[in-house]
Structure 1
Amino acid sequence: TSSALSVLLSSIQVFNVMRNLQLDHLQHLQMYYKYGTYAQGLESGTSGFQLCVFLVRDWQWPKEYEFGWEGGERLLEKILGAESKNKPTDELRDLRTYFKSCLSSRNCFLMPSPVLTDDGCSLNGAVNGITPSLKEYLRDFVRGLLSPSKLVVKTVDGEPLTASQLCKFVEKMTPIFSSEELPVPGLVVVKAAEFCAELARDKALMEYRYYLGQVLQSDGKLISPGELKQKEGKLRSKVLDLFDNAACLKLNECKQKGRKSLIQQLNTIFCDVWKGYQVVRKKYEESKKLEDDLMIATHSLSVIAKALMLFVTCIPMGPIPMAIVATTSITAVLAATGTGVAAMITNQKNEKDSAVAARKLPADLEKKLS
């Protein structure tokens, strides 16, 4: 059970055998890799399992096949019949074909025995008793398996999984392997299909949130209600097509269930965004009304100022009344100018604040959902 589960969850399998690698070992491993065939059917032909490494410990024939990766590769080719001069049997041919179709790559490493130390005594478990040659081969094995250039990232549907996605995959698959018996293969298919549907749905939701944020930005200005609904409709069609065209969705029941869930979440997201947008829009319209009132006041004061100046130029007056009227006119002009400037500042601040508030809607919603 643990072997079959490991095959489904990990991108790298290390099949550990003692002294020699034989055909029955491959046949034993094939039983667990059959679960990969079912998963592979959900992944559009992409390999469900990416790397299998056969580690042969205590290898006893280094003169025939040397220790390390090269000797292991030649041994594996011999077992699969690639080096044999004799015609491979149907069993070998089927086994070779199976592993080629199921695995992206496979390697073999021949490891020397750590039984004896440098002084010829039996190894008692102390690390300082391991021979330098074994340390060297162990280093080669670890580097060939876990170095950054060699490490294989787990994929599903050909897409690399993030750490959180891998955790979800583990949570989805482990319950069906909780008993001592292997689960029914059909159940493995269903659970894998459900996960693929969830993966496609989450990807579509991520696209939707991102591009909805781009729509709300609208060149730094508050978008109109009609334009927002129009662009959201096009965006919704785009992300639904993205979900429908996901290559991994081959079980119609899981696909329909995932699509229904996606639509419900799209409705929830846009409903919350629309409510927030309405609040921002209301504040914007209130500020716009204040701006209009200021502009009306500006126009009225300008008319009064012009009338006073005309009155001053047409009617002869003494020096004191003339000064009073001139002062009143200048005051009116300055008031009109100040009111106009205030209106422009209010307009710019209103546009900026509304656009910023609209841009924050998807991010605020995402925080609330997470």
Structure 2
Amino acid sequence: DSDTKPFQKLLFLVRDWDRPQNFAFGSRGGKALIDTRLDIKEKHAAELKTLRQSILSCFSDIDGFLLPHPGQKVARETSFDGRLADINEEFREKLKELVPSVLAPENLLVKQVNGKNLLGEHLMTFFRTYVEVFKGSDLPEPGSILLATTNATNMAAMDKARAHYMSGMRNRPRRNLVKLREFHRVKLAEAKKVFNDFPKMGGDAMSHTSMDVLIKDLDGLFSDFIKEEEEIIQKEQEEEAKRERERQEERKREEQRQRERILEKQKAEAREAEMKREREAMKEKERKMHEEEAKRESERQEERK
């Protein structure tokens, strides 16, 4: 919502206030002073009106606090090291009012954007953004802070959407590019919803620009996933092709061994048949020799008779 005020509270802290008769020290006088100074009047120049309008539009709650002079030891002595004893009593009393108003647990605000609480990780995005804004030698303009806040809310939304996408992609389908592309489309749609649901500033124009950057970023991440998966698939295909070649070579070797076994068996059968023929021939020869011997024996017997 571009009409939502980006900041929750602004406290103007004025030290060395020297007109307590007009505005009393403390929060009540400070609030009255700031309300007076931020009041927009017709006589103001255009730039002063714009400045006041910018401040009023940036903060939901604007307060002031007036502190007296802390004393000469604080202002003039270089040896001052922060000891309370060296600070004027009146100043110390007002500190006792100021510090709890800022740091008491009941006064610490949970940071919000568009009425929604921020997580610590998202708050870090704001810190990094504000460091960039305030690191120069000059104080930034309210408009610069507003732009920085707008950018920070969109960056936080992008970070959350990106984290959701990456978390989902840890369970992505493997070794199937068709299913992987479909899974990416689902997770990309979820990331877009996370981005759209996140509280942001800057209106539709800023959201559309940030969404385009997010989609480009996630598509880039997906390209890396695709490349990684293609490399895995290619490697597995090459390994499977290698194993298939090895299996084919092994089948060829087995076929060769089978042929050699068949040939060896045929040779053994041929040798056995040859030996059988030789044995039969030997038996036939022995039979004939016995017959001839018997015939000669018969002839000798006839001769003796």
Deviation for aligned residue 1:199: 2.1
Match of 1:108 in 2: none
Encode CA deviations 1:52-86: one digit per residue, 9 max, x unaligned. 553233xxxxxxxxxxxxxxxxxxxxxxxxxxxxx
Deviation for aligned residue 1:206: 1.0
Match of 1:133 in 2: 85
Encode CA deviations 1:153-179: one digit per residue, 9 max, x unaligned. 9956365464322135559x9564xxx
The alignment's C-alpha RMSD in Å is 5.0
Which residue of the other structure, out of 184, 188, 194, is the alignment partner of 1:228? 184
Match of 1:198 in 2: 151
CA distance in 2, matches of 1:132, 1:307: 100
Structure 1: unaligned runs, 5 residues or longer: 1-7, 42-46, 58-110, 116-122, 177-187, 320-370
Match of 1:163 in 2: 127
Match of 1:182 in 2: none
CA distance in 1, matches of 2:162, 2:67: 46
What is the letter of the counterpart of residue 129 of structure 2?
Q
CA distance in 2, matches of 1:155, 1:216: 30
Encode CA deviations 1:83-124: one digit per residue, 9 max, x unaligned. xxxxxxxxxxxxxxxxxxxxxxxxxxxx6x548xxxxxxx97
Encode CA deviations 1:253-281: one digit per residue, 9 max, x unaligned. x3111111112202321343344444434
Encode CA deviations 1:174-208: one digit per residue, 9 max, x unaligned. 564xxxxxxxxxxx6x7665444322210111123
Match of 1:269 in 2: 217
CA distance in 1, matches of 2:239, 2:85: 84
Highest Rg: 1 or 2?
A: 2
Match of 1:335 in 2: none
Q: Is the 8 A contact 1:215 1:228 kept in 2?
A: no
Match of 2:14 in 1: 15
Match of 1:29 in 2: 34
Structure 2: unaligned runs, 5 residues or longer: 1-6, 40-51, 269-305
3-state SS, counterpart of residue 14 of structure 1: strand
What is the letter of the counterpart of residue 56 of structure 1?
P
CA distance in 2, matches of 1:132, 1:204: 45
CA distance in 1, matches of 2:218, 2:83: 66
CA distance in 1, matches of 2:76, 2:147: 49
Change over 3 Å in CA distance of 1:282–1:32 after alignment to 2: farther
CA distance in 2, matches of 1:209, 1:165: 18
Encode CA deviations 1:111-152: one digit per residue, 9 max, x unaligned. 6x548xxxxxxx974648x9983359689959x859xx7797
2:67 counterpart of 1:55 = yes
Match of 1:214 in 2: 167
Q: Is the 8 A contact 2:173 2:183 kept in 1?
A: no
What is the letter of the counterpart of residue 39 of structure 1?
C
Encode CA deviations 1:295-320: one digit per residue, 9 max, x unaligned. 3124324434554565676654999x
Q: Is the 8 A contact 1:12 1:53 kept in 2?
A: yes
Q: Is the 8 A contact 1:211 1:235 kept in 2?
A: yes
CA distance in 2, matches of 1:12, 1:48: 6
The correspondence of residues 176-325 of structure 1 with structure 2, limited to 5 A, is 176=141, 194-218=147-171, 221=174, 224-242=180-198, 246=199, 249=201, 254-304=202-252, 306-307=254-255, 315-316=264-265
Change over 3 Å in CA distance of 1:154–1:15 after alignment to 2: farther
Deviation for aligned residue 1:282: 3.9
CA distance in 2, matches of 1:258, 1:234: 20
3-state SS, counterpart of residue 156 of structure 2: helix
Q: Is the 8 A contact 2:9 2:59 kept in 1?
A: no
Aligned length in residues: 221
CA distance in 2, matches of 1:287, 1:230: 27
CA distance in 2, matches of 1:131, 1:217: 56
Change over 3 Å in CA distance of 1:134–1:20 after alignment to 2: farther
Change over 3 Å in CA distance of 1:175–1:197 after alignment to 2: closer
2:38 counterpart of 1:39 = no
3-state SS, counterpart of residue 170 of structure 2: helix
What is the letter of the counterpart of residue 284 of structure 1?
I
Deviation for aligned residue 1:235: 1.8
3-state SS, counterpart of residue 24 of structure 1: coil
CA distance in 1, matches of 2:17, 2:72: 12
What is the letter of the counterpart of residue 212 of structure 1?
Y
Change over 3 Å in CA distance of 1:22–1:154 after alignment to 2: farther
